Structure 1
Amino acid sequence: MTGPGSTALRQFAFTTRAHLAVDDATGEPIGLDDVDTRVGWLLDLVTAAGAELVSRLWHSATFDALAAGLDRQDRRLPAQGHVAAARLGWTPSYPDGVYVPSRVTRVVTAQVMTTLRTLAYRDTAIAALSARFDAASGAVAPPIGSADYVSAGFARGVRRQLIACSRRGGGAPAGRLRITDVQGPPQTSAMARLSAADRQLAQITAAERELVLTVKLPTCPAPVGRVQWRRVRLTAAIPAHLHGRAITDWHLPTLVLDRRGLLWRCAATELVPAGEPKSAIVAVGVDWSPSTLGAAAIAAEGPGGLSSDYRGWTYDDRGLGVKLARLQAEGQMLHTKAARLTRLAATAPPAVRSQLKEKIAILDEHRTAVGVKRGKINRELAFHFARQATDYAAAAGAQVIAVEDLSTLEARGRGRVNNNRAAQSARRQAVAALAHTAAGVGITVISVPARGSSAWCPGCDEPLVRPGGYHDAWCPRCQVGGNRDHLAGVNLAKRALLGRNKATRRRGQMPAVRVAEHAPVRPSPDKHGPTPSRPRHRRVRRSLPTVTRRLGVTPNKHVPAPQASVWDTVKPTPPHGDPGSRDTRLSHTICHWCGR
């Protein structure tokens, strides 16, 4: 159904935790610590069986079967992983005497098939690149046909693998290599995707703003019979930001254990306004800026063609980008130090080796903690940017948001440090958050080519000059200019409007415009976009003179306010619980001397 007021289904993910657990048969309460232990036993069985199956299937015939996409009866393999594994005869094995339900086996094979299907693309690329690899020079020849093309970043990573493989072999590799020749089996994560099972293993219901998950868990580390698998009913609260949303279906979660215990990674389907990119007349282009996460500008289509006021909006990351860079440098330092201690421990005496291993373990724990902090900041930064960009587009009446294609965007030519910082930014998370947030208001996010977006003029498609430095751009012919990121946003919005009827969409991906078309964008004096909100600083009273304090007398005079800072704004603090805001807790500080 299309047209004004139409709706569409979309899936989204969220996390929650159980606050109540009872035995489904007897109704007796179970401690959450006991539930964590039983879930840990389940994850141990799933992880061990998955690792054994991946190790057993780690040969070229496995990837040949996946590339062919046919089973033993020459039937097309289905999309469901556990069904495809059953047709191919790929079943996991368990220790002798251990009983595991068949639905748990479905979970294992579904996770293994997801991993192998993901690596099948890498196997094909490695085979194509190894045929053009020269071990003497360490270079890869250009592709002959379009079928052998891979992205430059992916090719560089495979080239490093081929160089390391040739060094280990002591010469040039013989023939075409496969992924099984250059790397070992991947490690499997400790998780259980219950979505591959049915009601015999798990089921979920929603009632009174709570989710009730009934799942079958083992009662011991090595269950020997069906009796030692009992159903547990877990109750978790639905997050507050999902209250009142048109959710049509709740899906079975993925169970993982973190430092706080059992975590549900859930998914749900909801009704959202249907986007209509083919009828879009206003588009917002989002450019990934090297100075901040992103900047945006607007282009509109009218009777006279495309026009723009060339006034953009720049995202303020509130200092989170600097914090990410600091944490990244700290993580790299910890990694370098741990690698150096590992090399020293290889040739150290036994007593010194044990001490070095203890230090390496501490460094690994610190590096893991830094990674957790970076992940939280990346998510916060992504959703805060998505909320700001979506509000900007909705205020402008845009139907489409154009973002740069990240597969064609590489951080190169700006030095080792800046290239690394740009590559480690939260752009991919920001794209996913932007697509999710914009879909909630009926705006479609489209990927467009990034090449030349900040180097060519939106009006005449000629190279821009930089009279004021890197961040400024000017076109002498069209007499338009300003911030280079804002001009890039106009170019991206123009490409989305011109290619909206030719956009392609693959399953699980956002619509994409593959070819960048050109049409002149005239500067319009009319205001198309909203005025970006700017912080208003507190006023400073400078007219009153400074009064000298008199000794022994309590002055009843006005004191001039301190000089305003750029961080002093009258904007309220974002509310607690907002996914795009930091958790700010205000606490009263008690003086230890006076007790106040």
Structure 2
Amino acid sequence: MTGPGSPAPRQFAFTTRAHVAVDDATGESIGLDEVDIRVGWLLDLIVAAGTELVSRLWQPVTFDVLAAGLDGQDRRLPAQGHVAAARLGWHPHYPDGIYVPSRVSRVVTAQVMATLRTLAYRDTAITALFERFDPATGRIAPPTAAADRVPLGFARGVRRQLIAHARREGAAPSTRLRITDVQEPPQTSAMARLSAADRQLAQITATDRELVLTVKLPTCPAPAGRAQWRSVRVTAAIPGHLHGRAITDWHLPTLVLDRKGLLWQCAATELVPAGDLGSATVAVGVDWSPSTLGAAAITTENPDGLSSDYRGVTYDDRGLGTKLTRLQTEGQMLHRKAARLTRLAATAPPEVRAQLEEKIAVLDGHRTAVGVKRGKINRELAFHFGRQVTDYAEAAGATVIAVEDLTTLETRGHGRVNNNRAAQSARRKAVTSLAHTAAGIGVTVVTVPARGSSAQCPGCDEPLARPGGYHTAWCPDCRVGGNRDHIAGVNLAKRALLGRGKATRRRGQLPAIRVAEHAPVRKSRDKTSPTPPRPRHRRVRRSQPTTTPRSGVTPNRHVPAPEASVWDTVQPTPPHDDAGSRDTRTSPTNATPVARSMRYT
């Protein structure tokens, strides 16, 4: 069954941790610390083999083969990384005397192939950008064809690599420049992607509340035979937010070790309502704001055309943005201080260098802790933002949410500090969280062009005036205006409705609308956007203890406050053995004469 509203499968990720581990053969309990040690030995083998394989394949011919996508017999390379590596004859090597199962080698080759395939795109881009690079000026000429265009942030990174290479080499090379000429082989991540293996290495089963993973782990750092690989059955709890969801399949996790021990990075497949982008008539536009994470507005398509009430809603980050700014400033300060001590340690005497290196290690530890805090806050901020925007779209009856294309969005013109702060905001994480949350109710998230969304009028497509400064916008011809972020949300929603039939879909990415079309959006007198709920806080005085009134006595609920003067700055001295509690009544001495004597003396 297919169509709007019908169930459609989608994959999502989550994390969990084990709480019980037993030996699969004997059933004896194993400590979690022992499991962490054995998983660490497995990751050491994977990292060593992956590093050796990447170093051996770090040649231009490797990227030529990956760019062509064909093996030695001109057959198309399969999507599975370990199968493609087997066809090409790329196998990892291990030290003599160490036995590693073939399924672990599958994990190694799958992770290496994923890295090399990603870098194959960078190799092609480096070659294309080098042809337009001028070593004398350090600039890259604009592209002449649409196929040569790359994201601006990506082009800046390649430009820095080309400038550094030109400084090292001096003269411009006459041959084709490749990625192997401008950077070293990448590091292999310490993780075990078990999804590349089969049941001989790992298998997973699920109950109502728990996941049971059976995986083979080494019993020593250098296993010499099959007997030194034993299966361990590890049990982890299913997170509470997944209980009761229509999950059809649980996939093998990726094992990593962090500061708390073994972490499962899991994936699952569930059924969600299928979205219908082609028949959308109400759209929500989300504009990324420099002052807060984002703002949303609604555009509706009627038989008379597009309309909007131009009343949006701005996301309230509950003070998390201020905390992120403080942590970012602190992290940058720690980075600058560590960089300065590193420069001093390079020319310092040995005894002073040792002291400086100890300080640098402490600063690096603090900087890592700050990064962990920022990551947690960004995750909380992203999912809270996704939940609020999804509820806003559901209340308005929208079936599509339009967000700005982050590949074409560049923060500039607000100063170095503000540009850096906006560039490090959790926008991409917020988009992922929004797409995940919206898909649960059948709402589709699409990306639309960002250029001119907050600078052009949704009605006449002319530049907007700024009568009240940066955060306001006004069109004197259409007589519409308001918050610039809400105006941008109307423009983004309009682009989603006009280009819904021309959206392009690529695997692993959101549906994208590449061209921004224009149609006038008239101002509707009717209220079309929902009013967001506002929390009402009840003021409670917690300083007074709660007492039970005596029966038959009417309590005095309203006690008038004593009269106070603006000069009442002298507090009466409490009597002896009194700490100034509320139960002790002080003398009703008026402080006005005392204040007057202080004033006129």
| TM-score normalized by the length of structure 1 | 0.91
Return the offset for 1:210: 0.5
Return the offset for 1:20: 0.4
Tell me, yes or no, if the aligned pair for 2:5 and 2:442 is still in contact at 8 Å.
Answer: no
1:422 to 2:422 alignment: yes
| Partner AA of 1:455 in structure 2 | A
Q: Structure 1: how far apart are the matches of 2:283 and 2:2?
A: 20
1:288-307 Cα distance to aligned partner (Å, 9 max, x none): 01110000000111111111
1:377-397 Cα distance to aligned partner (Å, 9 max, x none): 111110010001100100111
SS in 2 for 1:64: helix
1:172-201 Cα distance to aligned partner (Å, 9 max, x none): 343331111010011111000000000000
Tell me, yes or no, if the aligned pair for 1:297 and 1:486 is still in contact at 8 Å.
Answer: yes
Q: Structure 1: how far apart are the matches of 2:304 and 2:383?
A: 36
1:289 — aligned with what?
Answer: 289
1:16 to 2:16 alignment: yes
1:332-382 Cα distance to aligned partner (Å, 9 max, x none): 222222222222222222222222222221111111111111111111110
Return the offset for 1:218: 0.3
Tell me, yes or no, if the aligned pair for 1:276 and 1:399 is still in contact at 8 Å.
Answer: yes
2:367 — aligned with what?
Answer: 367
1:76 — aligned with what?
Answer: 76
Equivalent residues in 2 for 1:402-551, closer than 5 Å: 402-536=402-536, 544-546=560-562
Return the offset for 1:533: 2.3
Q: Structure 1: how far apart are the matches of 2:390 and 2:562?
A: 47
Return the offset for 1:453: 0.4
Q: Structure 1: how far apart are the matches of 2:256 and 2:110?
A: 16
Return the offset for 1:52: 0.7
1:560 — aligned with what?
Answer: none
Equivalent residues in 2 for 1:183-198, closer than 5 Å: 183-198=183-198
The 1:71/1:459 distance shift into structure 2, 3 A limit, reads same
1:571 — aligned with what?
Answer: none
SS in 2 for 1:46: helix
Equivalent residues in 2 for 1:389-400, closer than 5 Å: 389-400=389-400
SS in 1 for 2:464: coil
Q: Structure 2: how far apart are the matches of 1:333 and 1:507?
A: 40
SS in 1 for 2:176: coil
1:379 — aligned with what?
Answer: 379
Return the offset for 1:261: 0.5
1:222 — aligned with what?
Answer: 222
1:373-425 Cα distance to aligned partner (Å, 9 max, x none): 11111111100100011001001110000000000000111111111001100
Q: Structure 1: how far apart are the matches of 2:143 and 2:227?
A: 59
Tell me, yes or no, if the aligned pair for 1:136 and 1:172 is still in contact at 8 Å.
Answer: no
1:273 — aligned with what?
Answer: 273
Return the offset for 1:252: 0.1
SS in 2 for 1:278: coil
2:27 — aligned with what?
Answer: 27
> Alignment RMSD, CA only?
1.9
Q: Which moved more, 1:204-213 or 1:146-155?
A: 146-155
1:117 — aligned with what?
Answer: 117
Return the offset for 1:555: 7.3
The 1:524/1:107 distance shift into structure 2, 3 A limit, reads same
1:232 — aligned with what?
Answer: 232
Tell me, yes or no, if the aligned pair for 2:5 and 2:275 is still in contact at 8 Å.
Answer: no
Tell me, yes or no, if the aligned pair for 2:129 and 2:140 is still in contact at 8 Å.
Answer: yes
Return the offset for 1:84: 0.5
2:549 — aligned with what?
Answer: none
2:208 — aligned with what?
Answer: 208
Q: Structure 2: how far apart are the matches of 1:353 and 1:121?
A: 42
Tell me, yes or no, if the aligned pair for 1:454 and 1:485 is still in contact at 8 Å.
Answer: yes
Tell me, yes or no, if the aligned pair for 1:206 and 1:250 is still in contact at 8 Å.
Answer: yes
1:179 — aligned with what?
Answer: 179
SS in 2 for 1:87: helix
1:65 — aligned with what?
Answer: 65
Q: Structure 2: how far apart are the matches of 1:134 and 1:228?
A: 58
Return the offset for 1:95: 0.8
The 1:554/1:92 distance shift into structure 2, 3 A limit, reads closer
Q: Structure 2: how far apart are the matches of 1:10 and 1:194?
A: 20
2:330 — aligned with what?
Answer: 330
* Number of residue pairs aligned between Structure 1 and Structure 2: 557
Q: Structure 1: how far apart are the matches of 2:327 and 2:229?
A: 44
SS in 1 for 2:233: strand
2:302 — aligned with what?
Answer: 302
The 1:200/1:52 distance shift into structure 2, 3 A limit, reads same
| Partner AA of 1:415 in structure 2 | G
Return the offset for 1:242: 0.1
Q: Structure 2: how far apart are the matches of 1:551 and 1:158?
A: 73
1:44 to 2:30 alignment: no
Q: Structure 2: how far apart are the matches of 1:298 and 1:146?
A: 32
| Partner AA of 1:133 in structure 2 | F
Q: Which moved more, 1:351-360 or 1:91-100?
A: 351-360
2:551 — aligned with what?
Answer: none
Tell me, yes or no, if the aligned pair for 1:165 and 1:173 is still in contact at 8 Å.
Answer: no
| Partner AA of 1:217 in structure 2 | L
Q: Structure 2: how far apart are the matches of 1:539 and 1:80?
A: 60
2:344 — aligned with what?
Answer: 344
Q: Structure 2: how far apart are the matches of 1:255 and 1:530?
A: 44
Q: Structure 1: how far apart are the matches of 2:15 and 2:239?
A: 8
> Highest CA radius of gyration, 1 or 2?
2
Return the offset for 1:546: 2.4
Q: Structure 1: how far apart are the matches of 2:532 and 2:512?
A: 28
Tell me, yes or no, if the aligned pair for 2:4 and 2:275 is still in contact at 8 Å.
Answer: no
SS in 2 for 1:177: coil
| Partner AA of 2:562 in structure 1 | T
The 1:344/1:542 distance shift into structure 2, 3 A limit, reads farther
2:547 — aligned with what?
Answer: none
1:198-246 Cα distance to aligned partner (Å, 9 max, x none): 0000000001310000000000000000000000000001000000000
1:143 to 2:143 alignment: yes
1:540-594 Cα distance to aligned partner (Å, 9 max, x none): 999944268998895799xxxxxxxxxxxxxxxxxxxxxxxxxxxxxxxxxxxxx
1:576 — aligned with what?
Answer: none
Tell me, yes or no, if the aligned pair for 1:135 and 1:173 is still in contact at 8 Å.
Answer: no
Q: Structure 2: how far apart are the matches of 1:354 and 1:43?
A: 31
Q: Structure 2: how far apart are the matches of 1:556 and 1:365?
A: 54
SS in 1 for 2:411: coil
The 1:507/1:4 distance shift into structure 2, 3 A limit, reads closer
| TM-score normalized by the length of structure 2 | 0.90
The 1:266/1:554 distance shift into structure 2, 3 A limit, reads closer
Q: Structure 1: how far apart are the matches of 2:560 and 2:498?
A: 59
Q: Structure 1: how far apart are the matches of 2:126 and 2:53?
A: 23
| Partner AA of 2:72 in structure 1 | R
The 1:319/1:94 distance shift into structure 2, 3 A limit, reads same
Q: Which moved more, 1:347-356 or 1:455-464?
A: 347-356
| Partner AA of 2:473 in structure 1 | A
| Partner AA of 1:443 in structure 2 | V
Percent identical among aligned pairs is 80
Tell me, yes or no, if the aligned pair for 1:403 and 1:445 is still in contact at 8 Å.
Answer: yes
Q: Structure 1: how far apart are the matches of 2:360 and 2:500?
A: 53
1:53-73 Cα distance to aligned partner (Å, 9 max, x none): 111111111100100000111
SS in 1 for 2:255: strand
Tell me, yes or no, if the aligned pair for 2:338 and 2:360 is still in contact at 8 Å.
Answer: yes
1:258 — aligned with what?
Answer: 258
1:239-266 Cα distance to aligned partner (Å, 9 max, x none): 0000000000000000000111100000
SS in 1 for 2:278: helix
2:247 — aligned with what?
Answer: 247
The 1:5/1:152 distance shift into structure 2, 3 A limit, reads closer
The 1:543/1:156 distance shift into structure 2, 3 A limit, reads farther
